[in-house]
Amino acid sequence: GLPTLLISEASKSYPKPDGIKFTYGTAGVRTKGDVLESTCFRLALISALRSKRMGGKVVGMMVTASHNPEPDNGLKAVDPRGEMLASNWEPYCTEAANALTDEELFAVLQRLIKADSINLQTPAVVVYAHDTRPSSPKLVKAIEAGLAAIGAEGRNGGLLTTPQLHYLVKAYNTQSTPDPYGEPTEEGYYKKLADAFQRAIADKPATSPLTVDCANGVGAISLQRFQKYLPASALQVRALRTSIDTAGALNNGCGADHVKTKQALPSGFEKEVAEGERLCSFDGDADRIVYYYLNGHASQKESFRLLDGDRIAALVADYISELVKRAGIADEIKIGCVQTAYANGGSTKYLSQRVPVVCTSTGVKHLHHAAESFDVGVYFEANGHGTVLFSDSAQSLIRGKISSSSPQGDSQSALSQLSNLIDLINQTVGDALSDMLLVEVVLRQRDWEPAHWDSLYTDLPNKLLKVIVPDRALFTTTDADRKLVTPDGLQQEIDKLVGKYLEGRSFVRPSGTEDCVRVYAEARIQQEMEELANKVAKLVT
Ligand code: NG1
Ligand code: ZN
């Protein structure tokens, strides 16, 4: 049975704070860092059970609150293939986190053990890592206490980005298979990316440096460590916002979320960057990236041009489609693209003319799942979280056709390049570093400046507003978040407004990560879009 005595003894140091209701949602549990210790202790128990349930495979736990402010923190569980925790386990996480007594906690665990026929004799291994937040080390201690109490083996990944932790989980579990994902170490991750990048750029040397805003977060560390594995002739990187030890600096006036939501440079960049330069921003745990550049003087607000997740999807989907055609396997490989309702209508129109496009509910797990139905599934959220999935059969087809004996014609070089991309792309989850290298490969191979990439299509003017409401649970949606079911009648009101504007589109949904409702609006004409956004926001309050 469960070692209840040991767990009870240890849990005394991790009492649940009064009056707080935790929720395990799309981004795991996320709240203020100083109230999360009990949750970390308890979710360590659940993670151990998850490992047992998966036959002793390694599972992961990541301590981070991503792009949220520095005092926040969070916890996310990772399944053996490096993916998010299966969603049918999420309610158990929520219930365990909220249990008022040890007895209640044990009742939740016993129910889970029974429902999933978990064999407690199976050993458990959990690898965990954390970002740079001041509250992170304490939370890691709580995880370790939970793992020790239930008798699970813990492996401390230390300070890592979220995608690095996902990589580690997958690498551990494929280590002794015919198709290992990579060496299960931090170094193995850097080597895999650096090797693949150098093969993918072949003999095209770096022309101009790339400036990276590291959000003053863990991405700064990873990027610096990574650079030791990559010669500067392959890629010149100028890393900015790398102050991980400055209190309050994380995500403050910088980072991918700031740039995307403000549609502006990180503060202070006006003095540090030049027109035409390639610029990009990571978020606080480096699982998102957006690019941007200035097409005029930095002092003019209109000079700022955002190259967001939608544009990365367009760039990458086009490039892979072209490679697949050149490789002569277009009939066998079906490429598709997955977006959410937040994708700009301009990008959806552009992509739909080239590949099948599907829209899913917000949340990475939905996009990831939908992308798996293609041989090559490109998924990106507009905010810059995304990756490309190659199915097992697509990978074997591509690699099986590469022949060392046949002449290095165009189809062979396209196949090799596809194979390089398979290694370069972190297929477990969105990865700012890996996505950055992917974008750099495509731009380099195409010989494109940011302005050329920008010219692929035109964005519709758009706006994303946060509206604070008394109870966001009153807002429920359908049709991939594009329509409200409740409050009653509100959707009809929105439809009426939307109909008045040229290419108007607007939708409302409750945030899964913050206590607010989000209002999105777009329209052909900037001023009309502003009007639409404000009117819909008014309807909501
Ligand atoms: P919520 O807070 O549910 O809107 C946000 C992002 C998601 C996703 C999650 C997870 C927007 C509009 N929403 O979710 O796309 O990234 O965080 O981190 O960007
Ligand atoms: Zn993130």
The residue type of 396 is S
25 lines ligand 1 (CB under 6 A): no
Domain with 60 in it: what CATH number?
A: 3.40.120.10
**Cα of 307 from ligand 2 centre, angstroms:** 18
The number of C-alpha atoms within 13 Å of 210 and in the hemisphere containing its C-beta is 28
Q: For residue 74, is it within any domain? A: yes
Measured CA to CA, the distance from residue 157 to residue 58 in angstroms comes to 13
Q: Assess whether 293 and 313 both reside in one domain.
A: no
Which tens digit of pLDDT belongs to each residue from 229-269? 999 999 999 999 999 999 999 999 999 999 999 999 999 99
Q: Assess whether 505 and 371 both reside in one domain.
A: no
Q: Which residues contact 514 (CB under 8 A, 6 or more apart)?
A: 68, 466
The residue type of 101 is T
In our burial notation (b when 16+ CB lie closer than 10 A, e otherwise), range 52-85 reads bbbebbbbbbbbbbbbbebebbbbbbbbbebbbb
Domain with 531 in it: what CATH number?
A: 3.30.310.50
253 lines ligand 1 (CB under 6 A): no
Read off φ and ψ for residue 163, nearest 5 degrees.
Answer: -65, -25
Q: Assess whether 302 and 327 both reside in one domain.
A: no
Annotated binding-site positions for Mg(2+): 66, 283, 285, 287
Contact 236, 209 (CB under 8 A): yes
- Strand, helix or coil for residue 518: strand
Q: Taking Cα atoms as reference points, which of 328, 305, 348 lies closest to residue 452?
A: 305
Read off φ and ψ for residue 175, nearest 5 degrees.
Answer: -50, -45
Tell me which DSSP letter residue 85 carries.
Answer: P
Q: For residue 440, is it within any domain? A: no
User: CA 212, 161, 246 angle in degrees (round to 5)?
Assistant: 65
Measured CA to CA, the distance from residue 276 to residue 273 in angstroms comes to 9
The ligand that comes nearest to the alpha carbon of residue 28 is 1
> Across the strands, what pairs with 29?
75
Q: From 247, 274, 307, give the residue that closes a domain.
A: 307
Residue 42 vs residues 92, 94, 157, 497: alpha-carbon distances, Å: 10, 10, 19, 47
Q: For residue 174, is it within any domain? A: no
Q: From 119, 142, 159, give the residue that closes a domain.
A: 159
Q: Assess whether 321 and 383 both reside in one domain.
A: yes
Q: Which residues contact 18 (CB under 8 A, 6 or more apart)?
A: none
Annotated binding-site positions for substrate: 381-383, 509-513, 518
Domain with 379 in it: what CATH number?
A: 3.40.120
Q: From 307, 330, 353, give the residue that closes a domain.
A: 307
Read off φ and ψ for residue 40, nearest 5 degrees.
Answer: -65, -45
Which range marks the domain in which residue 254 is found? 186-307
Q: Assess whether 11 and 143 both reside in one domain.
A: yes
Q: Assess whether 69 and 11 both reside in one domain.
A: yes
Q: Assess whether 107 and 152 both reside in one domain.
A: yes
Q: For residue 177, is it within any domain? A: no
Measured CA to CA, the distance from residue 129 to residue 139 in angstroms comes to 10
Q: What confidence score (pLDDT) does residue 298 get? A: 87
Q: Are strands 483-486 and 29-32 parallel, antiparallel or unpaired?
A: unpaired
Q: What confidence score (pLDDT) does residue 203 get? A: 84
With a cut of 50, list the residues of the chain below it in pLDDT: none
Q: What confidence score (pLDDT) does residue 405 get? A: 78
Q: Taking Cα atoms as reference points, which of 160, 220, 153 lies closest to residue 188?
A: 160
Measured CA to CA, the distance from residue 329 to residue 415 in angstroms comes to 9
Q: Taking Cα atoms as reference points, which of 214, 171, 221 lies closest to residue 192?
A: 171
Read off φ and ψ for residue 183, nearest 5 degrees.
Answer: -65, 130
- Of ligand 1's listed atoms, the one at least distance from the Cα of 464 is 12
Structural domains of the chain, count: 4
> Across the strands, what pairs with 509?
518
- Strand, helix or coil for residue 5: helix
**Cα of 33 from ligand 1 centre, angstroms:** 19
Q: What confidence score (pLDDT) does residue 315 get? A: 98
Q: For residue 447, is it within any domain? A: no
Q: Assess whether 395 and 508 both reside in one domain.
A: no
Which residues are identified as catalytic?
A: 66
The ligand that comes nearest to the alpha carbon of residue 464 is 1
Q: Assess whether 278 and 329 both reside in one domain.
A: no
Mutating to test ligand 1, I would choose from 24, 26, 310, 361 the residue with most ligand atoms within 8 A of its C-beta, which is 26
Q: For residue 403, is it within any domain? A: yes
Q: Assess whether 123 and 234 both reside in one domain.
A: no
69 lines ligand 1 (CB under 6 A): no
Q: Assess whether 17 and 135 both reside in one domain.
A: yes
Measured CA to CA, the distance from residue 22 to residue 12 in angstroms comes to 19
Q: For residue 266, is it within any domain? A: yes
Number of residues written out for the chain: 541
Read off φ and ψ for residue 353, nearest 5 degrees.
Answer: -75, -10
Q: For residue 272, is it within any domain? A: yes
Token pair 């700022």 in the structure block, residue: 304
- Of ligand 1's listed atoms, the one at least distance from the Cα of 510 is 3
Q: Assess whether 114 and 200 both reside in one domain.
A: no
30 lines ligand 1 (CB under 6 A): no
- Of ligand 1's listed atoms, the one at least distance from the Cα of 363 is 8
438 membership: H or E segment, kind and range: helix 432-446
Q: What confidence score (pLDDT) does residue 286 get? A: 98
